Amino acid sequence: MTDPTAAYGAFTYLRPADMRSSTLARYAALAPDRALVVVGIFLLDVTGKRIPHRVDDDLAGLIESVKPKADQRAFPTIGDHLPAEGLVAGSERYILGPLALDKFAPLASGDWIGFGDSAEAIEARYRKGTQEATLLVIEYPTQQLAATHFTKIAPSRRTIPRRIRR
């Protein structure tokens, strides 16, 4: 990927909801036949039989071999704004462009968030009892841009559905 932000975005885009988190890396998830791991600018998408049982040797060794070549710049911090209480594990989706926006938050057409003005967003599902909700957090580089885009979004908020169906 071009930078760790893009690798993180691809990780959340490709990660199925049923993949469990892993301690292999800050952003890693495992399924019986697949592993997704972010190492700097690299997104490792490994498939094979019995992936969780090979973590200690094969997969950990692969990650270690990639680390010296990985870009060590910071990952996006927008996920730090998500509340922990009620968060459905693995439901976070980092949104950095119109393609991901259309897939995960299809509330309107086009770039209604303002990615052209360096906006970024993250969404996650929350559950409390039998109730479920989706939270979308949008971050702008300045308060002025946030205010500008809010006034564009605000009039149409009556048309935004209460629940995004997948």
135 pLDDT higher than 70: yes
Give the pLDDT band of residue 165 (cuts 50, 70, 90): very low
Give the pLDDT band of residue 160 (cuts 50, 70, 90): low
Average pLDDT of every residue of the chain: 87
Helix (H, G, I), strand (E, B) or coil at 110: coil
* Structure tokens belonging to residue 8: 């993180």
Higher pLDDT, 156 or 61: 61
- pLDDT recorded at residue 53: 63
152 pLDDT higher than 90: no
CA 156, chain centre distance (Å): 25
Nearest to 28, CA basis, from 53, 60, 58: 60
Q: How far apart are CA 144 and CA 72, in angstroms?
A: 31
Q: What is the DSSP letter of 74?
A: P
- pLDDT recorded at residue 164: 47
Summarize the confidence of residues 87-101 as an average pLDDT. 89
Summarize the confidence of residues 12-33 as an average pLDDT. 90
> Which residue's structure tokens are 């693995």?
90
